């Protein structure tokens, strides 16, 4: 009997595997399957493979059975090494490998385990993939046994392999020693932690040794739960290192664990400053690669989504100019943001033929439908749509942050500019006007090249101002920057010096595009007491604020309920989302049980859901326009809008977008407004009617489209 | 074999020549056969059969149609990245496969600017020089991919001034799938392309948009760029077989390499499911897919395979590759064809011609602006190009079902007749004559090979 041992590190494609196993068995082979993935979680599919229970084996799913030094070594190594360290000592695996004629790695991360087993069992064939394994099996069976079975049973590992294994062990001794010396047990004690922290700052240590010691200490402290201590060890060591690159590296490592946990690190400024100092030094020395790497990392950290996007507040909105000031004092950053301008101004729209309008996006065209539909059928426009994400070459250049930085810092001498030229020039040549949706990577990419006489428009919605991309865009090559809300415009112009300079683009505010008439429908009988929150999938939507409003309201009248429409927050998006979701679930569970909160989930038909909603809430900490509120208002629900904290108190905010009576400063104020406007059926219906009329006459596409016609065609 | 005498000698660099189970094998086979017919001795240079085992495999039946006078030299060249024998891996490759692959590519393009194939340059050059030493060549025809095939053509030109023609089929400097230029004008690839095409006798490609690209890119080459479409093989077209399977359930078929994205496949399967829910004619219909999926370690073990397995509940069946010899009978069992293609205006594919020749209704699952749409435009049983929208595709499946049961035998035969203009034999014969005319024009006194051709 020919023995086949298959090893998988992740869930296989079960139908394919079942098919292959039946082919192996048809050739008279006995198949064994070992996996480091969670076998019992997919027991139904595993049963479908048709293997005996004894032929299937769960390898250790983690490294809990190995000592801490090994675990730390694995954490630093490639995934294939981790799989091997998990499986290495498993008696079942060792026994099956000894008797196997054919070892098969089912996925890439299982290859190293098969490679190591194959070194120890030289009589077995070893293959990656099922079809190659099947061919190998046919080859094995076409050859006479010639005592193969006996040989593989009795073969000892070759001496060379044993020797190499020993050498591997010896060479990893220093790291294992350090990891043992800075083990969790040691670092849990105050004395041990302090001793080791001191060790990394001891005078006279060479920089490399100091950095290595600090890293082992930080690793141990993190395992011991001393996160701040770990960060401090790295910061202290960095303070004693003059090498700018190494210092920046250590300070980066000091903030990384907090970011990974979804927390804003307290020492982020130091880390950003270290990267900027390194970038400036490298840039001055003409080391463009090092400069762009350092500047890129500084930008990434300064505009990290954990700090600005996944939180309920952002340091960026408090004092935008001060926030970006350290950045723009960097010489490398100044080189990045230097306006390159254009040789000729954008040409006027043609008068003898329709305007050629290229609408460009990278995947997310959620807010483009009306523009596309309207201008596709407009006699004065010939519209083309370009989705950069749909083409591999265009997608590759659209988000190439490092290449964009390299190009700017090398003053346009990198191959990137040529590539953008080659791929985008045909589109620019065709278009009279390019509308680039979202001010992110594609805007930075397109402004790498001179657009010729093509007019370039970029539309910035909201989240973009919290990212690095607007700082990597050359606005001297943008003719028109379109915002959908004035408070976002204010924030962007505060953050971006280029928008205030001589070569700044024309700035417009044109409302987002929404088709409202189909939201106007009769309300159901129970709608008056139903609050609605549409869209709860991201932390800044802050649905807990709405829950707070509900709870306060129910102290007055238990008929009020909260209807949640939309997908729940996906905990896998970020640690911050995971933490928020956990708090949210805890808070909302008893309310769901009481029937006070209804979770309606995702829908493609919001208009129908709104018929049951009498009060539409905006609970968000930031929005540009909050379409759900406008749709709700159009439907006749009474709008209650939180004064979005990111913008509250500024010259423009929720209060300047919506009628002031819609906006509230606190849950308590929200409760007062709701009680007042839903006091009786007539009051509620009147308030809803007023809101609907306002929405229809202000924000419906029939009104807003004139703004876009004027923008594209100069039509009034 | 010797060319010394009446028959001139062609070295044909055709990596993918039968028995490689590659779609390009048909064009290569017919090209070589046509040169034989035109009175040439042909030496084909390809790679070892074992190398195809790691790629898309072999189809030995393809050899049946190869003119026995053709000499085939198989070089022992293998793609290192497709190796699946773990014993041949070093520890670094086993441990860090992605980094190892990246480093391999970096090394490969240093030799010739083409990942995976660059290292074959020296062996191909030596092989061609050796063949020429043994049997002097009058002409070399190189067909790409791989583009490393340009290097030996150039070397032989440099050392022995043997004229060469290039059959790019698709094209190097144009990314036919995404419809953009594939590399910069001052890149190593561009230097090679410009240098080799500059001295080429002529360049042949499979459709007009690609030809236009080359004429625009190299104006001095413009009048030497010719379109030689792919066409279909008569022996794999059953003609129309009057055996609609409406009672037992209609059978829709796809035959070809599964080289499209998972998303595209999913869209087609969603459309199929939706069509079956709406259309009584499709209630008991089957959708059979035949061809190669994946290569190397993921051969027949990738996401596509899994999706197809899961779609069995909707009577979708993947039956693996079909031997060339079985294709006619396979088509005879189907009632409608599903043409799933990647790319846009620069892509035609070979299968569009073969599908047309079946005389069966054709459902198009590809971009609207696609060269296959140009070929199909006048086909009477085409459901039209509706793009990759699952709802529109579902309607196409329904239209095709009705065409399958409502079309008369005469209409089917008319559809077959429409395809006749695209028989590979006719197209390749014309293509080879174009090359030989260029040859005769440039090398006066050698025109006898055209005039005096003997089948």
DSSP letters along A301-331, please? HHT-HHHHTSSS--HHHHSHHHHHHHHHTSH
- DSSP secondary structure letters along B224-285: GEEE----B-GGG---------TTT--EEEEES-B-S-HHHHHHHHHHHHHHHHH-GGGTT-
Question: Cis peptide before A66, with omega less than 30 degrees from 0?
Answer: no
Is the four-CA dihedral A303, A307, A310, A315 of positive or negative sign? negative
A108 interfaces chain B, CB cutoff of 8 Å: yes
Rounded-to-integer distance, Cα B295 and Cα B55, Å: 5
Are β-strands B41-47 and B71-75 bridged in parallel, bridged antiparallel, or unpaired?
A: parallel
Q: Name which of B54, B297, B303 is nearest A13 (Cβ-Cβ).
A: B303
Give helix A91-99 / helix A111-120 axis angle, nearest 10°: 60
Q: Report pLDDT digits (tens) over B403-452.
A: 999 988 888 888 888 888 888 999 999 999 999 999 998 886 654 444 43
How far is it, in rounded angstroms, from Cα A197 to Cα B193? 61
Which of the residues A6, A7, A19, A128 would you substitute to probe the B interface, choosing the one with the greatest number of B C-beta atoms within 10 Å?
A128
CATH of A2-171, one of 1.10.12, 3.40.50, 2.60.40, 1.10.10: 3.40.50
CA end-to-end span of chain A: 84
What are the strands, taking DSSP E only, across A488-527?
506-509
Name the residue facing B95 among A80, A103, A135 (closest C-beta): A80
Q: What is the pLDDT of residues A219-264, one digit of tens each?
A: 888 777 888 888 988 999 999 999 999 999 999 999 999 998 888 8
Question: What sign has the CA pseudo-torsion B103, B104, B108, B114?
Answer: negative
Give the chain B residue nearest A392 (alpha carbons). Answer: B178
Residue B53: its chain A contacts at CB < 8 A? 135
Q: How far apart are CA A576 and CA A303, in angstroms?
A: 16
Given this model, what pLDDT does residue A334 score?
97
Please, are residues A358 and A430 in contact by the beta-carbon 8 Å criterion? Answer: yes
User: What residues of B are in contact with residue A48 (Cβ under 8 Å)?
Assistant: none
A423-463 pLDDT, tens digit each: 999 999 999 999 999 999 999 999 999 999 999 999 999 99
Q: How crowded is residue B311: how many other Cβ atoms within 10 Å of its Cβ?
A: 22
Q: What is the pLDDT of residues A568-618, one digit of tens each?
A: 999 888 888 899 999 999 999 999 999 999 999 999 899 999 999 999 999
For the beta carbon of residue A513, count every other beta carbon within 10 angstroms.
22
Nearest CA in chain A to B293: A131
Top residue of A110, A132, A138 to mutate, by most chain B CBs within 10 Å, is A132
Tell me what pLDDT residue A165 has: 65
Which of A81, A125, A128 minimises the CB distance to B297? A128
CB within 8 Å: B298 and A129:
yes
pLDDT surpassing 60 at residue A35: yes
Continuous segment of H or E residues that includes residue B329: helix B327-332
Asked whether the domain spanning A355-509 has the same topology as the one spanning A2-171, the reply is: yes
A390–chain B nearest CA distance, Å: 9
Q: Collect all residues with Cβ–Cβ distance below 8 Å to A197 and sequence separation of at least 6.
A: A217, A229, A232, A233, A236
Which tokens belong to A385? 């749509």
Is the Cβ pair A80, B179 closer than 8 Å? Answer: no
The DSSP 8-state label assigned to residue A640 in this structure reads E
Statement: B234-421 belongs to CATH 1.10.10.10? no
Terminal alpha carbon distance of chain B: 17
Could you give the CA distance from residue A604 to residue A366 in angstroms, rounded to a whole number?
13
Kindly report the backbone phi and psi dihedral angles of residue B218, in degrees, each rounded to the nearest multiple of 5, phi listed first: -125, 80
Torsion of CA B46, B47, B51, B52, to 10 degrees: 10
Q: So what's the architecture of A518-699 in CATH? A: 3-Layer(aba) Sandwich (3.40)
User: What are the CB-based long-range contacts (under 8 Å, 24+) for B153-159?
Assistant: B153/B13, B153/B128, B153/B196, B153/B200, B154/B195, B154/B196, B154/B199, B155/B125, B155/B128, B155/B129, B156/B11, B156/B125, B156/B128, B156/B129, B156/B132, B157/B199, B159/B129
Residue with tokens 């236009």: B212
Antiparallel, parallel or unpaired: β A663-664 and A638-642: parallel
Q: Which site among A13, A45, A78, A428 would you substitute to test the B interface, given the most B Cβ atoms closer than 10 Å to its Cβ?
A: A13
C-alpha pair distances (Å), A76 with each of A80, A625, B102: 12, 45, 21
Which residues 10-29 of chain A have a CB within 8 Å of chain B? 13-17, 19-20
Q: Where are the domains of chain A?
A: 2-171, 174-324, 355-509, 518-699
Q: List residues bridging with A104 in a β-sheet.
A: A6, A127
Mean pLDDT of A670-685: 97
Which ipTM was obtained for this model?
0.81
The pLDDT tens digits for A310-362 are 889 999 998 999 999 999 999 999 999 999 999 999 999 999 999 999 999 99
Q: How many CB pairs under 8 A join A and B?
A: 105
By the 8 A CB rule, do A476 and A503 touch?
Answer: yes
| Shortest CA distance from B87: residue in chain A | A126
Residue pair B10/B41 in contact (Cβ under 8 Å)? The answer is: yes
The pLDDT of residue B444 is 63
**B180 interface with A at CB cutoff 8 Å:** yes
A80: nearest CB among B94, B294, B299: B94
Q: Report the b/e string of B364-385 with b at 16+ CB within 10 A.
A: bbbbeebbbbbbbeebebbbbb
In terms of Cα–Cα distance, which of A403, A271, A278, A252 is closest to A330? A278
Partner-chain residue, chosen from B180, B186, B305, that has the shortest CB–CB distance to A394:
B180
Query: Which pLDDT belongs to residue B56?
Result: 76
Of A546, A577, A693, A703, the closest CA to residue A311 belongs to A577
**pLDDT (0 to 100) of residue A323:** 96
Q: Are strands B180-181 and B174-175 parallel, antiparallel or unpaired?
A: antiparallel
Question: Tokens representing B373?
Answer: 């749409």
CATH architecture of residue range(s) A355-509: 3-Layer(aba) Sandwich (3.40)
The nearest CA of chain B is from the CA of A18 a distance in Å of 10
H or E, element range at A615: strand A615-618
Q: What is the pLDDT of residue A260?
A: 87
Class of the domain covering B9-231+423-451: alpha beta
What confidence tier does A705 reach under pLDDT thresholds 50, 70, 90?
very high
Smallest CA-to-CA distance from B305 within A111, A396, A18 is with A18
Q: Please give the backbone phi and psi of residue A689, each rounded to the nearest 5 degrees, phi first.
A: -65, -45
**Residue in chain A lying closest to B342 (CA):** A391
Q: What is the pLDDT of residue B59?
A: 87
Paired tokens of A42: 């997919």
Q: Are the beta carbons of B320 and B300 closer than 8 angstroms?
A: yes
Residues of B in contact with A102 (CB under 8 A): none
Between helix A268-284 and helix A320-328 the angle, nearest 10°, is 30
Instruction: Give chain A's mean pLDDT.
Output: 91
Task: Measure CB to CB from residue B301 to each of A114, A129, A415 and give the nearest one.
Answer: A129
C-alpha span between B101 and A647 (Å, rounded): 49
Please give chain B's pLDDT, 455 residues, in tens: 444 457 999 999 999 999 998 889 999 999 999 999 999 999 999 999 988 887 778 889 899 899 999 999 999 999 999 899 999 999 999 999 989 999 999 999 999 999 999 999 999 999 999 999 999 999 999 999 999 999 999 999 999 999 999 999 999 999 998 888 899 888 999 999 999 999 999 999 999 999 999 999 999 999 999 999 998 887 777 666 666 666 789 999 999 888 898 999 999 999 999 999 999 999 999 999 998 887 777 777 788 988 998 899 999 999 888 877 788 888 889 999 999 999 888 998 888 998 998 889 999 999 988 999 998 988 889 999 999 888 999 999 999 999 999 988 888 888 888 888 888 999 999 999 999 999 998 886 654 444 434 33
Torsion of CA A102, A103, A107, A109, to 10 degrees: -160
Mutate to test the interface with B, among A11, A12, A16 (most CBs of B within 10 A): A16
Considering chain B, tell me which residue range(s) the CATH 3.40.50.2000 domain(s) occupy.
9-231+423-451, 234-421
Chain A residues within an 8 Å CB radius of B181: 422-423
Interface contact flag, A127 B95, Cβ < 8 Å: no
């Amino acid at each position: 009997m020919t023995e086949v041992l298959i090893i998988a590190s992740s869930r296989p494609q079960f139908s394919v595997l079942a098919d292959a196993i039946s082919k192996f068995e048809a050739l008279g082979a006995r198949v064994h399957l070992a996996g480091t993935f969670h076998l019992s979680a997919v027991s139904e599919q595993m049963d479908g493979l048709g293997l005996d229970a004894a032929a299937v084996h769960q390898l250790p799913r983690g490294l809990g059975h190995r000592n801490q030094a090994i675990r730390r070594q694995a954490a630093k190594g490639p995934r294939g090494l981790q799989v091997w360290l998990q499986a290495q000592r498993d008696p079942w695996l060792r026994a099956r490998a000894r008797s196997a004629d054919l070892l098969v790695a089912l996925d890439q991360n299982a290859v190293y385990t098969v490679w190591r087993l194959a070194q120890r069992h030289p009589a077995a064939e070893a293959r990656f993939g099922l079809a190659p394994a099947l061919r190998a099996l046919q080859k094995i069976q076409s050859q006479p046994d010639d005592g193969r079975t006996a040989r593989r049973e009795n073969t000892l590992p070759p001496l060379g392999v044993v020797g190499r294994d020993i050498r591997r062990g010896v060479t990893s001794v220093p790291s294992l020693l350090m990891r043992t010396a800075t083990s969790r047990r040691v670092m849990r004690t105050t004395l041990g932690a302090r001793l080791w922290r001191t060790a990394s700052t001891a005078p006279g240590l060479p920089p490399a040794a100091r950095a290595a010691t600090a890293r082992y200490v930080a690793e141990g402290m993190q395992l011991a739960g001393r996160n701040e201590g770990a960060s401090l060890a790295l910061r202290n060591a960095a303070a004693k290192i003059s090498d700018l690159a190494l210092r920046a590296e250590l300070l980066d490592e000091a903030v990384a664990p907090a970011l990974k946990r979804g927390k804003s690190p307290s020492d982020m400024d130091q880390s950003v400053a270290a990267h900027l100092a390194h970038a400036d030094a490298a840039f001055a020395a003409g080391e463009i690669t090092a400069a762009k790497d350092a500047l890129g990392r500084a930008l990434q950290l300064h505009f990290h989504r954990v700090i600005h996007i996944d939180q309920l507040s952002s340091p960026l909105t408090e004092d935008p100019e001060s926030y970006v000031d350290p950045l723009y004092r960097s010489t490398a950053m100044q080189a990045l943001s230097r306006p390159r301008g254009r040789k000729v101004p954008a040409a006027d729209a043609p008068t003898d033929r329709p305007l050629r309008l290229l609408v460009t996006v990278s995947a997310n065209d959620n807010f483009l439908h009306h523009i596309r539909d309207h201008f596709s059928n407009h006699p004065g426009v010939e519209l083309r749509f370009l989705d950069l994400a749909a083409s591999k070459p265009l997608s590759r250049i659209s988000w190439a942050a490092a290449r964009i930085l390299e190009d700017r810092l090398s003053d346009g001498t990198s191959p990137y500019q040529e590539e953008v030229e080659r791929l985008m020039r045909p589109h620019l040549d065709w278009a009279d006007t390019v509308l680039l949706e979202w001010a992110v990577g594609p805007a930075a990419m397109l402004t790498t090249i001179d657009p010729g006489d093509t007019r370039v428009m970029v539309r910035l919605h909201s989240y973009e101002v919290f990212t690095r991309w607007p700082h990597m865009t050359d606005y001297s090559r943008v003719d028109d920057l379109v915002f959908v809300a004035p408070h976002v415009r204010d924030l962007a112009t505060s953050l971006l010096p280029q928008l205030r300079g001589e070569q700044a683009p024309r700035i417009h505010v044109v409302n987002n595009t929404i088709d409202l008439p189909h939201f106007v429908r009769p309300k159901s009988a129970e709608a008056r007491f139903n609050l609605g929150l549409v869209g709860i999938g991201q932390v800044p939507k802050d649905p807990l604020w709405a829950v707070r409003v509900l709870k306060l309201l129910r102290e007055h009248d238990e008929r009020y309920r909260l209807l949640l429409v939309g997908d729940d927050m996906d905990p896998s998006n970020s640690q911050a989302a995971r933490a928020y979701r956990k708090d949210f679930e805890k808070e909302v569970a008893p309310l769901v049980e009481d029937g006070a909160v209804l979770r309606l989930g995702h829908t493609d038909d919001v208009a129908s859901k709104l018929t049951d909603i009498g009060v539409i809430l905006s609970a968000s900490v930031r929005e540009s326009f909050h379409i759900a509120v406008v749709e709700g208002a159009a439907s006749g629900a009474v709008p209650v809008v939180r004064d979005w904290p990111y913008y509250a108190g500024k010259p423009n905010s929720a209060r300047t977008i919506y009628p002031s009576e819609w906006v509230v400063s606190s849950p308590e104020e929200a409760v007062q407004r709701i009680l007042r406007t839903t006091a009786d059926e007539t009051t509620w219906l009147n308030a809803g009617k007023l809101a609907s009329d306002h929405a229809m006459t202000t924000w419906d596409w029939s009104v807003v489209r004139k703004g876009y016609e004027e923008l594209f065609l100069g039509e009034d | 074999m010797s060319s010394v005498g009446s028959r001139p000698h062609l070295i044909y660099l055709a990596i993918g020549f039968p028995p490689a189970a590659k779609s390009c094998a048909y064009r290569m086979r017919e090209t070589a056969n046509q040169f034989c017919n035109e009175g040439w001795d042909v030496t084909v240079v390809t790679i070892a059969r074992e190398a195809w085992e790691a790629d898309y495999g072999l189809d030995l039946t393809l050899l049946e149609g190869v003119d026995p006078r053709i000499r085939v030299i198989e070089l022992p060249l293998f793609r290192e990245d497709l190796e699946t024998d773990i014993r041949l891996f070093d520890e670094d490759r086993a441990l860090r496969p992605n980094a190892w692959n990246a480093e391999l590519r970096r090394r490969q393009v240093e030799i010739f600017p083409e990942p995976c194939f660059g290292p074959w340059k020296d062996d191909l050059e030596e092989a061609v020089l050796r063949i020429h030493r043994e049997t002097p060549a009058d002409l070399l025809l190189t067909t790409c991919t791989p583009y490393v095939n340009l290097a030996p053509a150039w070397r032989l030109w440099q050392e022995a001034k043997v004229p060469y023609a290039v059959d790019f089929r698709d094209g190097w400097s144009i990314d036919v799938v995404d419809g953009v230029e594939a590399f910069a004008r001052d890149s190593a690839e561009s230097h090679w392309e410009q240098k080799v095409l500059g001295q080429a006798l002529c360049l042949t490609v499979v459709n007009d948009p690609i030809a236009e690209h080359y004429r625009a890119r190299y104006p001095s080459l413009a009048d030497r760029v010719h379109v030689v479409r792919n066409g279909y093989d008569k022996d794999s077209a059953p003609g129309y077989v009057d055996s609609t399977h409406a009672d037992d359930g209609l059978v829709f078929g796809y035959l070809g390499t599964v080289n499209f994205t998972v998303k595209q496949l999913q869209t087609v399967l969603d459309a199929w499911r939706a069509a079956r829910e709406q259309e009584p004619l499709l209630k008991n219909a089957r959708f059979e897919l035949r061809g190669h999926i994946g290569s190397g370690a993921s051969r027949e073990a990738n996401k596509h395979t899994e999706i197809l397995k899961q779609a069995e509940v909707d009577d979708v069946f993947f039956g693996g590759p079909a031997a060339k010899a079985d294709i006619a009978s396979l088509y005879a069992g189907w009632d409608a064809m599903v043409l799933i293609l990647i790319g846009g205006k620069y892509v035609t594919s070979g299968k569009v011609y073969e599908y047309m020749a079946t005389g069966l209704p054709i459902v198009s699952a590809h971009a609207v602006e696609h060269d296959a749409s140009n070929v199909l435009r006048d086909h009477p049983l085409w459901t039209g190009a509706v793009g990759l929208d699952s709802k529109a595709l579902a309607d196409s499946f329904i239209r095709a079902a009705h065409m399958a049961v409502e079309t008369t035998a005469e209409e089917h035969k008319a559809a077959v007749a429409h395809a006749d203009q695209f028989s590979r034999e006719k197209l390749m014969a014309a293509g080879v004559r174009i090359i030989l005319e260029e040859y005769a024009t440039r090398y006066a006194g050698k025109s006898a090979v055209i005039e005096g051709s003997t089948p």
